[in-house]
Amino acid sequence: MIQLPCPWCGPRNVSEFRYAGEVTPRPQPATATPEQWRRYLYVRRNPRGWTEENWYHSAGCRQFFKLRRDTDSNAVEEPR
Amino acid sequence: MAGGNNGPSNGHPSTNGHRKPGKPPRYSAFSLLKHGLAPRAEWPRAWRSPALQPSYDVVIIGGGVHGLATAYYLAANHGITNVAVLDKGYLGGGGSGRNTAILRSNYLTPEGVRFYDRSMRLYEHLAADLNFNVMFSRRGHLTLAHNDSSLRTMRWRAEVNKLQGVDSEVIGPEEIAKLVPYLDTSTSTRYPILGALYHPPGGIIRHDAVVWGYARGADSLGVHLHQNTEVTGIDVAEDRVIGVRTNRGRIATRNVVNCTAGWSSVISDMAGVELPVQTSPLQAAVTEPVRPFLDTVVVSGTLHVYVSQTDRGELVFGASVDPFTSYSMRGSLEFVEGLAGHVLELMPALSKMRLLRQWAGLCDMTPDYSPIMGATPVDGFYVDVGWGTYGFKAGPVSGEAMAECVATQRTPEIIAAFHPGRFETGQLVGEKGAAAVGH
């Protein structure tokens, strides 16, 4: 099992967390085109390598945080 | 990933040299006897290893069941034989060799049921079509319901299935106990079994044989199969595919079909095509062989597990995808622990069974749990991707439909609902209720 560095609780088993997806910029609801909404809702970069993502420490501090992870090796970057 | 020291795998032990082009000898009881009695019993290679040509009419990326079936039907149904299938590893080394080999067509949407039913019908006579024993074992498929909402979805699926002419019905715990005596159908379990969707045509097959059969069939019709050939780039000029770059050189072509799983985003990015796909590993495990006692496929969505017994006697267990996206195919201990617990809730008698091994495969999940198939905004770049956890059973129909799509430049009706543009228009084909853990 891999461990994730929670910025508040320190390293914890990944089973304590909920994956909340890639970090994707949210378009302005008032001005977004349907095309922009489609991309925001469905399209993911899904890279094979380093990516920035949201995680939720559901069985711990219950905070959302951003994390950089290598999807190929599951290595994670320590939070700054 | 490479096929050992003997070069690329071809379904047979290495022999001297390569077979000449042309029809391979037919497999039959007579050929078996002849080779058994011959003093130097060497079977000819099942397919050739030709040199990479500078150009092909169609280049198919991904040498799994989808890519090989597409190549086979391009040649067999449409006479297009100047085709190359490229695989970065060996044939059938990805999802085609990592799935749990379960076949069924009891889906939720009419589009899905029609599509998977066509695949079942192709599988039925695949061994005869390909002259290759694919060991299709039709044995019935049970999807258990442990709560009211699951039972409601089962009834829904049963009605959709019947309307499409697919044999499917909801049965109660007494009938389930008759079909699978070792299942704990008592009411004292944590999640008592309330009923099941029974799908008699469902079954299992030998997935490697399907890959090898299609490879041999495609090769005999003139298709070139290139293993250990990794695509490094796709050349696009004025929104049209003009070539493919590989680690063995460039290929000029005007048609590229992306038949990869686990690499579908990476390959599509090369052509500049965005896909609504997220890749997650799915783990499975197999036990030591025991005497035959389970002649149905048993699936439980609530317990995230499915069980079948192979012809050799091993129990094959599968689960749902891992809880976060990843391209890593390493197994995890928490998976085995969870799986074993769930299996024992279903069949307590298995507590002494020993697991032999576990593995993972990559699943390209789409938002609606249906595949993404057809032409893309880049001319000549076709996709047959997003196969999530249901790609193997769809191999034959996908090959047939993608071949027609490439050959006629029109999208066949049977895959029209799965077109890549559906996420833009909101015409999703929601199969989560039947595909999430329902292999």
Is pTM beyond 0.90 here?
Answer: yes
Position B251 scores a pLDDT of: 98
pLDDT reading at B179 higher than 50:
yes
Cβ neighbours for B42, distance < 8 A, ≥ 6 positions apart: B15, B16, B35
Whether A74 is in a domain gets the answer: yes
Q: Which CATH number fits domain B56-140+203-277+374-434: 3.30.1330.60, 3.50.50.60, 3.20.20.210, 3.40.50.300?
A: 3.50.50.60
Residue B339 pLDDT greater than 80, yes or no: yes
Number of independent structural domains in chain A: 1
Residue A43 belongs to some domain of the structure: no
Q: Is residue A3 part of a domain?
A: yes
Flag whether A54 is in a domain: yes
Range of the domain at A58: 1-24+48-80
Q: What is the pLDDT of residues B29-51, one digit of tens each?
A: 998 888 888 887 678 889 999 99
Q: Pairing mode, if any, of strands A64-70 and B58-61?
A: unpaired
What is the pLDDT confidence band of residue B435, given thresholds at 50, 70 and 90?
Answer: confident
pLDDT above 70: residue B384:
yes
Task: Spell out which residues of chain A touch residue B370, defining contact as CB-CB under 8 Å.
Answer: none
In a domain, A42, yes or no: no
Residue B214 clears pLDDT 90, i.e. is over it: yes
Residue A35 lies in a domain: no
At B116, is the secondary structure helix, strand, or coil? helix
pLDDT band at B17 (very low <50, low <70, confident <90, very high): very low
Q: What is the mean pLDDT of residues A49-67?
A: 96
Residue in this structure with the two tokens 């192979």, named with its chain if needed: B310
Report how far residue B201's alpha carbon sits from residue B167's, in angstroms, rounded to the nearest whole number: 7
Answer yes or no: is pLDDT of B3 > 90. no
CB contact under 8 A, B328 and A73: yes
CA-closest candidate to residue B264, choices B308, B313, B235, B231: B231
pLDDT band at residue B9 under the 50/70/90 scheme: very low
What is the residue-averaged pLDDT of chain B? 92
State percent of chain B over pLDDT 90.
85
Domain boundaries of chain B, sorted by first residue = 56-140+203-277+374-434, 142-202+278-365
Full 3-state SS string of A20-47: EEECCCCCCCCCCCHHHHHHHHCCCCCC
Q: Using the beta-carbon criterion (under 8 Å), do A34 and B424 form an inter-chain contact?
A: yes
Looking at residue B13, what is its pLDDT?
Answer: 41
Specify the DSSP element, H or E, that contains B36.
helix B29-37
Residues B253-293 pLDDT 10s: 999 999 999 999 999 999 999 999 999 999 999 999 999 99
- For residue A67, being part of any structural domain is answered with yes
Q: Higher pLDDT residue, B320 or A67?
A: A67
Rounded mean pLDDT, A33-51: 90
Nearest to residue A36, comparing CAs of A46, A44, A26, A45? A26
Q: What CATH topology corresponds to B142-202+278-365?
A: D-Amino Acid Oxidase; Chain A, domain 2 (3.30.9)
CA-CA-CA-CA torsion sign (B101, B74, B368, A19) = positive
Neighbours of B200 (CB within 10 A): 16
Q: Amino acid identity of B231?
A: V
Taking the Cβ of residue B358 and every Cβ of chain A, the question of whether any pair is shorter than 8 Å is answered with no
Any domain includes A69: yes
Q: Which among A19, A34, A48 is the nearest to B327, CB-wise?
A: A48
Whether residue B424 and residue A47 make contact (CB cut-off 8 A), yes or no, is no
Give me the residue from B275, B325, B423 closest to A38, CB to CB: B423
Per the CB < 8 Å rule, is B333 touching A73? Answer: no
The distance of A80 to chain B (nearest Cα, Å) reads 23
- Contact of B307 with B298, CB cutoff 8 Å: yes
Give the pLDDT of residue B11: 46
Report the pLDDT averaged over residues B2-24.
Answer: 45
Residue that wins the pLDDT comparison between B321 and B62: B62
Token pair listed for B298 = 């048993």
Per-residue pLDDT band for B155 (boundaries 50, 70, 90) equals very high
Chain A within 8 Å of B324 (Cβ-Cβ)?
Answer: yes
Whether pLDDT at B59 is above 60: yes
Which residues of A lie inside 8 Å of B (Cβ-Cβ)?
1, 14-15, 18-19, 34-35, 38-39, 41-48, 71-74
Q: What's the pLDDT tens digit per position in B195-209?
A: 999 999 999 999 999
In a 10 Å sphere around its CB, with 0-12 CB exposed, 13-18 middle and 19+ buried, how is residue B179 labelled? middle
Mean pLDDT for A66-70 is 96
CATH number at residue A61: 3.30.2270.10
Nearest to B431 by CA among B147, B122, B156, B100: B156
Place of tokens 């009411």: B187
Q: In a 3-state reduction of DSSP, which class is residue B157?
A: helix
CB contact under 8 A, A19 and B332: no
CB–CB of A72 and B327 under 8 A? yes
Q: DSSP letter at B88?
A: S
Q: How many CA atoms lie within 13 A of B83 on its CB side?
A: 31
Does residue B1 carry a pLDDT above 60? no
Q: If pLDDT is split at 50, 70 and 90, which confidence band does B4 have?
A: very low
ipTM over 0.85: yes
Mean pLDDT score, A13-31: 94
